[in-house]
Structure 1
Amino acid sequence: MSGIVLSNAVRQNLSSLQATADLLATTQSRLSSGKKVNSALDNPTNFFTAASLDSRSSDINNLLDGIGNGIQIIQAANTGISSLTKLVDSAKSIANQALQSVAGYSSKSSVTTTIAGATADDLRGTSTYSNGLAQSIGLQDGQGTPGVVDGDTLLGGVAATKTGGTVGGSGITAGTALSALGANKPVAGDTMTVNGRTITFASGGAPDKATLPTGSGVEGQLVTDGKGNSTVFLDSGTVQDVMNAIDLASGVQKVTITGGDATLAPSSGTAAAVTSNALVLSTSTGSDLSISGNNTLLSAFGLNSGATGAGTFKAERTASPAAGDGVSRANMIQADSTLSINGKTITFKDAAIPANADYGFGKVGSQNIITDGNGNSTVYLQGGTIKDVLTAVDIASGAQTAPVSNGAASLAVTAGSEASKVLSGGQLQISSGLAGDLKISGTGNALSALGLAGNQGTATSFSVARTATAGGITGKTLSFEAFNGGTAVNVTVGDGTNGTVKSLADLNSALSVNNLAASIDTTGKLTISASNDYASSTIGSTESGGKIGGTAASLFSTASAPVADVNAQNTRANLVTQYNNIIQQIKTTAQDASFNGVNLLGGDTLKLVFNETGKSTLSIQGVTFDPAGLGLSSLKSGKNFIDNANTNKVLSSLNTASSTLRSQASALGSNLSIVQTRQDFSKNLINVLQTGSSNLTLADTNEEAANSQALSTRQSIAVSALSLANSSQQSVLQLLR
């Protein structure tokens, strides 16, 4: 066979066919494996680079399992913290129940002393009244004589009269018919206003009393509502009816209504009259006279100049008929002014005292005062005097008593006290009474009009302090060392000035910083005891402190020990048991908050590795969140929850534990976020590495399929060409035969 020689054409065809077969085999290998680089022979650089990328991707993928476990460990710890937080909140609820339950002691440790006559307002002991002097005032006496005041001096001043102009017509008298007053005579519908009350003129005659509204009464041709408002009927009305209406409105006269009949009687001032064809009108002793209305109507009674439009007629009370005696209208008390005495109120009214003082209110003798039996009074300015004011002040202060019965008040000076009075120099001498120090404030001009803004008074108040008698604790000192961590107290009993303590409120203010409180009963027994928060502590004990001292210490008893309330302590003991059950659950919950053997609430440390070299790591240090780690412990019955202070200490520990849990939950949340971020980063990096490796080694299947098809065609053509070459050689051999 070695002597066989192939032609050049055959040899070329065979060579082409072999090359095509090799290329086809390579293409089919790439299609079957999906890679264009299957070994280092294909492309050493791409092969080894892809292998490195695949190796790193595999290493990082192996770390993902550890990262996932780390996430579960953190979440297990976070779940444990959530449960621990709920348990701590339950423990807080139990502690709050202890605070809200009945006090654990029927009585607290205390020291006591009895001070005769001591009250909540004045701890100094038995006191006697004292008097205060007002500034001298100059009103005028009840007879209109100028000079210094006395008890009969009128509060509202002295009534004054004023004569109007000539009334229309001639020979006018009180009985003159209204229809005879000339062209300007009143007509139906006309009105005039007197001191805020209304007089109305109506046609016809006065109605029958049986038809009048309840509370109204008729007198002549005048119908009044009993409150100063009147209607005058024109058919038979006279000038006297109009004058009566003006007097009722101004308070000069008062009315009593019985069965529809109105009976008029003098009140204060002088009843209106007609003199020399003119009306002579009077103010009351409580207010000036002011009449307003249409000028045409007023001119019919000579009360203006006859001009058109609205008009007025005025008359003023007088404080003094002579000038230069220091008396002025400013000294007349204004209506609705008030005086406030130790929480009681005196009100001044511009009216005459009512005819009746029923419905629980009492008229004080023959004076112009009505009192409610509780120290509050009304003084009526029409007829009211300085004596009336002093009586009302004494009723409010307790210097005089005025119990009310059947509409009357029986006045009497309180034993051991003195009634207020007017001194010869015109000064008011005000008694403090025995019940408490006196303080008077006011509205309107009452203080200044009565001289109470001078001497012992100011622009806003007037004060009179009682005098303490011997045997009290005035000037004595009282001290307590620091009690249960409070601030030591050292006080001096006195009149409340210069830092001294006078009232129970003053004493409690001083004791409050030392966890002590004071109280006093009606017998003068002063008790200083431990505050509610420290009901289990004994004053002056070695454990609690609070030893009593000072010059008043000998007056006080030895400190008593607190007396436990059995039922209350049993209730608190049950709460201790409930609390301890929760503490046990906190312990077991912290132990169970593990995953795969790692417990971040049990003190374990979690270390996570994030890259293949081990250089990128995160260490999470665990905590010990058993009760001790949270600063909590089991309680002891009879020691814990026994009073509010002890319970508050437990609550404080629970609040600290809650803060610790919240802080650790925040730290775990931050670490969990970091780990989850690194987990996502690792997954994405693996994808990047695998993609890079694929780009270096993977074949393009579309390209390789096309190559395979082309090589198959090329192989077919090569086979055909080889066949043709063989056919040509066969023809030559045939000729040789």
Structure 2
Amino acid sequence: MSNVVLSASVRQNLLSLQSTADLLSTTQNRLASGKKVNTALDNPTNFFTAAGLDSRASDINNLLDGIGNGVQILQAANTGITSLQKLIDTAKSIANQALQSNVGYSTKSNVSTQITGATPDDLRGTTSYTSANAVSKVVVDGTAGGAHPITSTTTLGATSTSLAGVAAPNGAGTAASLAPGLTLIGTPGATTIQGSSAPVDGDTLMVNGKTITFRAGTAQTAVLPAGSGINNAGAGNLITDGNGNTTVYLGSTGTPKATVQDLTDAIDLASGVKKALISNGQAAVSHSSGTDAGIIGGVLTLTTGTGSDLSITGHADLLNGLGLTSSLGSGDVTVTQPRQITAGSLGTLIEDGSTLNVNGKTITFKNSAPPLAANVASGSGVLNGVVADANGNSTVYLQGGTMADVLTAIDIATGAQGKSISAGGALSLTPGTGVASQVVAGALKISTGTSSDLTISATGNALVALGLAGNTGTNTTFTATRSAGIGGVSGKTLSFSSFKGGTPVNVTFGDGTNGTVKTLAQLNVALKANNMSASLDATGTLVIAAGNDYASSTLGSTLDGGAIGGTITSALTFTVPNPPVEDLTSQAARANLVRQYNNVIEQITTTSQDASFNGVNLLAGDTLKLVFNETGKSTLNIVGTALTPAGLGVPTLTIGTDFIDNAATNKTMAALNVASTTLRSQASSLGSNLSIVQIRQEFAKNLINVLQTGSSNLTLADTNEEAANSQALSTRQSIAVSALALANQSQQSVLKLLQ
């Protein structure tokens, strides 16, 4: 072949075809690889630059896996912290239940003392009250003109007057013919009540508000009402209760028993002319005031007595038969007779049954003479016209009673004068809390005493008659106020040393100004800073106790503090500090809360242990190191924290020590609050680190894209251009082949010619 000689044209076409083939191969390689620089021969600069960029992008891409794992580790830790926070919140809820449950002690440690007269508005007490005087309007006696003032000897009763009837017929009608039926001629005690105008079973007479009841038959002594007695001196026809109410037993139609004397005795008992002493079912009737009823020449004469006017209401026929009225019929009629008011008696007489209510004690005015000492009720005593009981209630007797007796009864009720009751029923006065009340220039000068302020109200006309109803006579009460001095502990100082770390108390009792303490509220404000509280009951007992937060602590103890002192201890006696008394039910409930709490705390440990990813647990104290560049110079170290109960400062509780009172519970609550703060801080730190890692992750992804894009820009081929080149080279190759063929044909033709 070396002897073959190619013509110049063939050689030229062959070279052109080879060149085209080479260019076409290069173009096809670029289209196949997509790169215009595939080897260092293509473009050494671009090739090695692109190789360096691709290598860096690959290195950074390899780091993305580690960064992604770091993100998951942080998210696992964050999930663990979220769960731990929920567990801490649950523990807080349990602690709050303990705070809201019963304190755990039925009685807290306390000291107490008695301050006489102390009230919540004034703790100083009222031991220095002094008696004051209250003066009524001027009271006048019965002197003509109505201007003469009374004295202490002025009597409560008035002068008795007579009510005389007219001559009444006897049973045969031999006297004046008014109303046949009642025999009034002769000895009344021997004359029975009978006839057409005589009362029958069930009839009544009302005399001065007292009831006289007529009954058929004979008195039954075996069934006497309690407190009543039978008048055996009158043949046993009367049963009376000792207060003027009487039952008259008429006997039968065939055998009448009650006499006119029985009827007049009943009227005199009701009017106060006579009295009855009841003893062992017997009624001893005797004269009391005025004049006993009598019959002279067929005329009945009654008197009023001194303690009350006379008023008789009954059937007209009966009163007509007695000669007391001219009215006839079965209807009721009233006959009256007033007493005579004189210079020695009150100008306005006090009505029988009226009362005064003095500071809750009752003074009753009674139309009767005072009893003998031997006849008063057990526990009571008599002095002049007054009978008083052991409780300070009195009865003032209108027959023989004076203004001095009224004042004595008032002083006993107020305590201005004391009293002594002997075993024999005698009443004597002793020194009281004020001066004796007296009559001064016709006015009542009443001592209030020191026990309480004076308040007098009344029933009946007693308030008006005694000048206690004011100048207009319309007031319903008479009042006066004691003179109040400085309280019993005013100026005294109360002090407590620090109790359970509180602020020592040092308060002075006073009027509430200039830093002094007057009210219970002010005292509680002062005690609160030292973990104490105060209360006061109605008897003046001041109790200072440990506050709810320290219900398990003991006041004044060496361990807890709160020792009492100050000048108040010289004026008052405080009790020895009482220790707290456990409430077993409440403590059992609190012990159950401790168990619930500890169960929750145990879950903190297991939850923090489970918050790991790929072997790394930031909540167990592991450290996470992340590398962000290919040189290892850009890194982030995230140091974890062991979030165990100990790491969070959350205690495990002990039954009988923790949750036993609010202070112990608040201590646990404070630790839980610190744990919550720690968790929030850790969550914030993890969140910040997670943001950094996510930012670097995104940065790495973007940087890889930049590097890869830069590499591509250096090596990638323009496919449009290379496709066009490929097409052109294919055409060129085709033409070159054709040209080579033509050259060969031409050469062959020459050879044929030579043949």
Shift, 1:126, TM fit: 4.3
Secondary structure of the 2:647 match is: coil
Q: Where does residue 556 of structure 1 map in the other structure? A: 574
5 Å-filtered alignment, 1:409-558, equals 415=415, 466-468=484-486, 472-553=488-569, 555-558=573-576
CA distance in 1, matches of 2:741, 2:518: 140
Structure 1 residues 495 and 3: alpha-carbon distance in aligned structure 2, compared to 1, 3 A threshold = closer
5 Å-filtered alignment, 1:713-728, equals 713-728=731-746
The answer on 1:127 being equivalent to 2:135 is no
Shift, 1:569, TM fit: 0.2
Amino acid at match of 1:515: N
The answer on 1:695 being equivalent to 2:719 is no
The answer on 1:733 being equivalent to 2:754 is no
Contact 1:129–1:418 under 8 Å retained in 2: no
Contact 1:434–1:466 under 8 Å retained in 2: no
Shift, 1:2, TM fit: 3.2
Contact 2:109–2:577 under 8 Å retained in 1: yes
The answer on 1:658 being equivalent to 2:676 is yes
Structure 1 residues 723 and 643: alpha-carbon distance in aligned structure 2, compared to 1, 3 A threshold = same
5 Å-filtered alignment, 1:86-165, equals 86-129=86-129
Contact 2:122–2:520 under 8 Å retained in 1: yes
Structure 1 residues 715 and 641: alpha-carbon distance in aligned structure 2, compared to 1, 3 A threshold = same
Among 694, 702, 707, the residue aligned to 2:725: 707
| Aligned length in residues | 437
Shift, 1:506, TM fit: 3.1
Shift, 1:700, TM fit: 1.7
Structure 1 residues 43 and 433: alpha-carbon distance in aligned structure 2, compared to 1, 3 A threshold = farther
Q: Where does residue 327 of structure 1 map in the other structure? A: none
Contact 1:432–1:465 under 8 Å retained in 2: no
Q: Where does residue 43 of structure 1 map in the other structure? A: 43
CA distance in 2, matches of 1:723, 1:34: 34
Q: Which protein shows a greater Rg?
A: 2
Give aligned-pair identity as a percent: 70
CA distance in 1, matches of 2:94, 2:452: 48
Amino acid at match of 1:24: L
Amino acid at match of 2:602: Q
Shift, 1:14, TM fit: 1.1
Shift, 1:121, TM fit: 3.1
CA distance in 2, matches of 1:712, 1:129: 136
Shift, 1:522, TM fit: 2.1
Q: Where does residue 693 of structure 2 map in the other structure? A: 675
Structure 1 residues 430 and 698: alpha-carbon distance in aligned structure 2, compared to 1, 3 A threshold = farther
Secondary structure of the 2:648 match is: coil
Structure 1 residues 682 and 123: alpha-carbon distance in aligned structure 2, compared to 1, 3 A threshold = same
Secondary structure of the 1:668 match is: helix
CA distance in 2, matches of 1:51, 1:464: 114
Provide Cα deviations, 1:61-87, integer angstroms capped at 9, x if missing partner. Answer: 000001100100110111011101111
Among 603, 609, 620, the residue aligned to 1:591: 609
Shift, 1:495, TM fit: 4.4
Amino acid at match of 1:562: P
Secondary structure of the 1:127 match is: coil
5 Å-filtered alignment, 1:382-401, equals none
Provide Cα deviations, 1:447-473, integer angstroms capped at 9, x if missing partner. Answer: xxxxxxxxxxxxxxxx9972258xx44
CA distance in 2, matches of 1:537, 1:127: 34
The answer on 1:83 being equivalent to 2:83 is yes
5 Å-filtered alignment, 1:287-302, equals none
CA distance in 2, matches of 1:494, 1:431: 26
Per the normalisation by structure 1, the TM-score is 0.55
Q: Where does residue 53 of structure 1 map in the other structure? A: 53
Q: Where does residue 620 of structure 1 map in the other structure? A: 638
Secondary structure of the 1:625 match is: coil
Structure 1 residues 132 and 10: alpha-carbon distance in aligned structure 2, compared to 1, 3 A threshold = farther
Amino acid at match of 2:50: A
Provide Cα deviations, 1:197-240, integer angstroms capped at 9, x if missing partner. Answer: xxxxxxxxxxxxxxxxxxxxxxxxxxxxxxxxxxxxxxxxxxxx
5+ residue gaps, structure 2, are 134-349, 351-357, 361-409, 417-432, 454-480
Structure 1 residues 497 and 464: alpha-carbon distance in aligned structure 2, compared to 1, 3 A threshold = farther
The answer on 1:576 being equivalent to 2:594 is yes
The answer on 1:649 being equivalent to 2:667 is yes
Shift, 1:118, TM fit: 2.9
Structure 1 residues 679 and 127: alpha-carbon distance in aligned structure 2, compared to 1, 3 A threshold = same
5 Å-filtered alignment, 1:625-636, equals 625-636=643-654
Q: Where does residue 212 of structure 1 map in the other structure? A: none
Secondary structure of the 1:545 match is: coil
Aligned residues: CA RMSD = 3.6
Contact 2:31–2:719 under 8 Å retained in 1: yes
Query: Which segment drifts farther, 717-726 or 97-106?
Result: 717-726
Shift, 1:658, TM fit: 1.2
Structure 1 residues 703 and 577: alpha-carbon distance in aligned structure 2, compared to 1, 3 A threshold = same
Shift, 1:113, TM fit: 1.8
Amino acid at match of 2:77: A
Secondary structure of the 2:637 match is: strand
CA distance in 1, matches of 2:632, 2:452: 90
Secondary structure of the 2:645 match is: coil
Contact 1:35–1:699 under 8 Å retained in 2: yes
Structure 1 residues 485 and 712: alpha-carbon distance in aligned structure 2, compared to 1, 3 A threshold = same
Per the normalisation by structure 2, the TM-score is 0.54
